Structure 1
Amino acid sequence: MSTSADVPAGYNTPIPSKIMTPDRVETRIGTLEFTDGFPSEETAAKVFDQLDFARAVEVFLQSIPAASLEGLRAGLTDFGLDAANKVGIADQLLDSTPLFLTGNTDTVYALAMLDLHRDGPTVVEIPPGCGPGTVNDAWFRFVTDMGKPGPDRGAGGNYLIVPPGYEGEIPDGYHVSHSRSYTNLLALRGFLVDGKTDAAKAMFEDGVKIYPLNAEGARPEMQFLSISGKAFNTIHANDRSFYEEVADVITREPIELIDPETRGLLAAIGIHKDHPFAPDERMLGLLSEAAAVGNATARAICFKTRDPRAYYYEDRKWKTGFVGGDYRWLDKDGRGGRNMDARTLFFYQATLNTPAMALEMVGVGSQYALSEHDSAGNYLQGDKTYRLTLPAGIPAQDFWSVIAYDPQTRSELQTGQALPSRSSEKDRDELVYNEDGSIDLYFGPEQPSEHGGNWIQTIPSKSWYGILRLYGPLESWFDKSWIPNDIEQI
């Protein structure tokens, strides 16, 4: 056997060093040891722990949409929305008492959970004048819009949501959508009239009907339950129980809910359609750590965003929730694949996936801008006082609002104000505009001596972040001829 420099001992021909494995390799997970390429027992155990841990972190990040929808399903079901004809309605607006990911304080929500496995194809009748409405499946994917951005264009209409695998007859007269899951969230929104909820509440209670297609002759009576001022949780876990939530989704839904690659990723850590989720003690420890790292990663993606495309302007802190401008998070129409970080940025802090929030639709739908930093680049703190100046000509055909949120829960900030927000519709009798048509909004623990109607309260012991919403966004938003100032400490 040759022992020349080009032909190592044990070989007859030259062997490129780049294909060889040294006996010892120093890595971020420690020293890895081999005997002629065979891993030692300790090395094999170490890399398998790392493999399971890495996959569990990836499951956390990829499954946030599913866990988030499951959090809504569980929370709303526990509240009493355990049948499709039971609708939760924010008849006094969505205040900060219930926990919802970045819910808004300025439209009247009507929420229902559809179970297509139990009910089969389900009819949803919505009345004329309904604001933006959306149906999302169990992986928080878009199914259909309703109301103004939907196919009824605000004229009202009858929708039919069809379960996966359904082969029965589909009658005429419906806007038909096929869902990939049995569980579906229906969220409708109604606008305030003269700053009040009465008209939207009556519109929903008089006009919304939800029933199985096969029960059209014996429709269940609609029940509307107020969710305003009620304490309950709809947010997914950030600890090890996150994986139990995802496992429940996989057990309940058809196997085709997700693609084979994603199924394989989940199965690699024990989440499998055909088997109970029963991790052993070793895996439980890894899952606890993976959930902590996954949660930290999601928070960094959201609040320390490193993708420059997330920012609306080069010299501002305002960010979009839809990086790339695609509700599927497909980068460059899919040539760059799915932008996983962009999807995490949205679903870790928000809900309701619809093209209407991502597309440039002048005068229709809504647009959002988020900021957790002040003009100096510091996190927003509840013990400090800030000012946000919105220039004249705010580009909102319907109305605008600014809401303060808690970075822990990503829900409305709980303060002495039940509705931690200012809105051109809800608060129109209190807001004071500047002579040039601009408006200064104030944030801090104490109400300012002047322009108290422009104040949003904060809590000294807590951080916060803000979201600017534009309903019926105008061209000046999309062409960036109107630009909001950053939030500045004063």
Structure 2
Amino acid sequence: MKNSILLNITLLLLSTQFYAQQNAVPLKDATLKGDEVIKSSIGDIELIDSYFDTDASNRLYDEMDYQRASQAWIWGMPMVSIVTQKKGLAEKYGQASEHDIVVLKSLKEKRGIVTGNLTTPYMFGYVDLKKSPVVFEYPAGATASGLVDIWQRTVTDIGQTGPEKAQGGTFIIVGPEDDVEKYKKSGVYTYQSVSNFLVIALRIIDPSPEYYEKFKSEFKMGHIGETLETFNYIENKDVEWSGTAPRGIAFWETLSEIINHEPVRKIDKPWTAMLLPLGIEKGKPFNPTDKQKEILLKGGAMGELMARNIQINPRYTKPWWEGTSWYKSYDFSVPQETDTRLELDERTTWFYEAVYSSKGMVNPPVGAGQVYMTSKRDSKGDLLRADKTYVLHVPADVPIKQFWSVTLYSENTRRPYDNGGTELKDVTLGSRSEQLQYNKDGSVDIYVGAKAPKGKESNYLKTVGNDGWFVYFRLYAPLEPFFDKSFKLPDWEMID
């Protein structure tokens, strides 16, 4: 008799549960009132007298934290990326002092930079403004440099697109928690950074060895009150390294370090609020529980997938040239915000696949600055593949005052493509490439893919395996035909 009663109770519970499931309403139709079973992506949520049980509560919190982690990954990625670069150079190049500048010239050296330019040398240094403001004496000459904050925003351009217009000058950079007015002087360019972390990002456009040595001897720096000194240049190491933001828990460890070192801007307070239940809080060490780690790992992976989707298929803009798949890569403002919003998706596109920003990149004047064009689809609209071969027909008379280049990058790392080559010409070609074959009309055909067309090896960049690729077509000092769009690049054509 007792067993029969238990069986009947069990059957009643199962039938009630089945009935509830069969009568569950989609989330969009839920009333959230009284007794209701709601279908959701995290399973059914059963309301009894408008309440739900502990199990449903826990699942809702887990989902909320997962969504927050995904979006926080997108938000924090520009900071983590630039700090990762600093850590990589410190580890592999021994950069330890604020007066150490790493010079990257060879393919191995530049292959660590996220979408690094392979035509001109790069120089990177890092300063902490927490101690006090910093003074720079910057030399005159053809350079495209900048001082950059932790959001990879230019504090000021220096060189051709800087306020001194390549004539040289004195700069004072003040930290975010100091009073910039105390340091302003006549004839000195004084700026305030929003972060203590400051990048010295240098590019030498003048190719002459004489100018390079002159630049090194004249560029000086010191904190306020200190003697200005030249830099120690770490050169010719030819060491492999990585500046790609880490995946996994290392991403969140770095983000926690940054939040603890930097003041929180007003615009970023909602994001630090979202990180709080995930174990990342200003003034506290990062020591996540197993549950928090699990959610951060899952959320970080989804955040990167979302960022990659924005990068491959931007929905906030249109191709630069109508009827093509070519986009102007840098498609947002220097402050990364407007009067009404943070330009979140726009900056995600750039900083997922690149590093740094400057006025010379965003709004280059005619005959100065740089433009970066990218394409990830062929003439049929299909995504570019590593196992096929394509041709890009570059018209004659590319409208530039300085040079143009086509550089190959890996979609996975966003760094210069590793195809087994050891020389810069294995990954980049352009108007400064001596080996290029030109067509009779002055145009050039650039080939990228799994196999070089016979006789076109000098114009070919190799892809390997299933390592997806994209290019940057760079125009240095673009001229009016680029801006009025009378110059136009065609799409890639698959030839094999």
* TM-score computed with the length of structure 2 as normaliser: 0.87
1:375 deviation in Å?
A: 1.8
The residue that corresponds to 1:128 in the other structure is: 140
1:486 deviation in Å?
A: 0.9
Map 1:172-183 → 2, pairs under 5 A? 172=185, 173-183=187-197
Corresponding residue to 2:89 among 53, 60, 76: 76
Corresponding residue to 2:458 among 453, 459, 473: 453
Task: Give aligned-pair identity as a percent.
Answer: 28
The residue that corresponds to 1:363 in the other structure is: 367
Map 1:239-254 → 2, pairs under 5 A? 239-254=248-263
How far, CA to CA, are the matches of 1:409 and 1:249 in structure 2?
22
The residue that corresponds to 2:70 in the other structure is: 57
Corresponding residue to 1:345 among 343, 349, 366: 349
How far, CA to CA, are the matches of 2:475 and 2:191 in structure 1?
28
1:451 deviation in Å?
A: 4.0
Classify 1:338/1:258 alpha carbon distance in 2 versus 1 (closer, same or farther; 3 Å).
closer
Amino acid at match of 1:474: L
How far, CA to CA, are the matches of 1:251 and 1:233 in structure 2?
24
Corresponding residue to 2:44 among 27, 31, 45: 31
How far, CA to CA, are the matches of 1:178 and 1:410 in structure 2?
31
Residues 223-251 of structure 1: per-residue CA shift (max 9 Å, x gap): 10126622122221122321111001011
Amino acid at match of 1:112: G
CA RMSD of aligned residues (A): 2.3
Residues 276-298 of structure 1: per-residue CA shift (max 9 Å, x gap): 12111111111111111111111
How far, CA to CA, are the matches of 2:272 and 2:465 in structure 1?
45
The residue that corresponds to 1:206 in the other structure is: 217
| 8 Å Cα contact 2:395/2:443 also seen in 1 | yes
Residues 35-85 of structure 1: per-residue CA shift (max 9 Å, x gap): 111121111011000111111111101111111121122122223222221
Amino acid at match of 1:466: V
Corresponding residue to 2:160 among 148, 155, 162: 148
251-260 or 408-417, which moves further after superposition? 251-260
The residue that corresponds to 1:424 in the other structure is: 431
Match of 2:350, SS?
Answer: helix
The residue that corresponds to 1:287 in the other structure is: 296
How far, CA to CA, are the matches of 2:406 and 2:108 in structure 1?
14
Amino acid at match of 1:248: E
| 8 Å Cα contact 1:379/1:463 also seen in 2 | no
Match of 1:214, SS?
Answer: coil
2:182 matches 1:191: no
Classify 1:77/1:130 alpha carbon distance in 2 versus 1 (closer, same or farther; 3 Å).
farther
Equivalent pairs counted in the alignment come to 461
How far, CA to CA, are the matches of 1:257 and 1:181 in structure 2?
13
Map 1:383-398 → 2, pairs under 5 A? 383-398=387-402
Classify 1:187/1:355 alpha carbon distance in 2 versus 1 (closer, same or farther; 3 Å).
same
How far, CA to CA, are the matches of 1:83 and 1:68 in structure 2?
20
1:356 deviation in Å?
A: 1.8
Classify 1:261/1:460 alpha carbon distance in 2 versus 1 (closer, same or farther; 3 Å).
closer
1:386 deviation in Å?
A: 1.4
Match of 1:260, SS?
Answer: helix
Amino acid at match of 1:154: A
| 8 Å Cα contact 1:108/1:192 also seen in 2 | no
How far, CA to CA, are the matches of 1:111 and 1:384 in structure 2?
36
Map 1:257-268 → 2, pairs under 5 A? 259-268=268-277
The residue that corresponds to 2:321 in the other structure is: 313
- Structure 1 stretches of 5 or more lacking a match? 1-16
- Structure 2 stretches of 5 or more lacking a match? 1-29
Classify 1:253/1:469 alpha carbon distance in 2 versus 1 (closer, same or farther; 3 Å).
same
| 8 Å Cα contact 2:108/2:240 also seen in 1 | no
1:439 deviation in Å?
A: 1.2
1:360 deviation in Å?
A: 4.8
How far, CA to CA, are the matches of 1:326 and 1:167 in structure 2?
26
| 8 Å Cα contact 2:144/2:205 also seen in 1 | no
Corresponding residue to 1:158 among 170, 178, 186: 170
Classify 1:203/1:220 alpha carbon distance in 2 versus 1 (closer, same or farther; 3 Å).
closer
How far, CA to CA, are the matches of 1:167 and 1:396 in structure 2?
41
Classify 1:19/1:47 alpha carbon distance in 2 versus 1 (closer, same or farther; 3 Å).
closer
More helix by share: 2
2:129 matches 1:110: no
Corresponding residue to 2:335 among 296, 318, 328: 328
Match of 1:245, SS?
Answer: helix
The residue that corresponds to 1:435 in the other structure is: 440
| 8 Å Cα contact 1:84/1:211 also seen in 2 | no
Classify 1:256/1:283 alpha carbon distance in 2 versus 1 (closer, same or farther; 3 Å).
same
Residues 342-401 of structure 1: per-residue CA shift (max 9 Å, x gap): 111111111111122111521110001111222222332333221111112211111100
Match of 1:334, SS?
Answer: coil
The residue that corresponds to 2:102 in the other structure is: 88
How far, CA to CA, are the matches of 2:349 and 2:449 in structure 1?
27
How far, CA to CA, are the matches of 2:218 and 2:321 in structure 1?
42
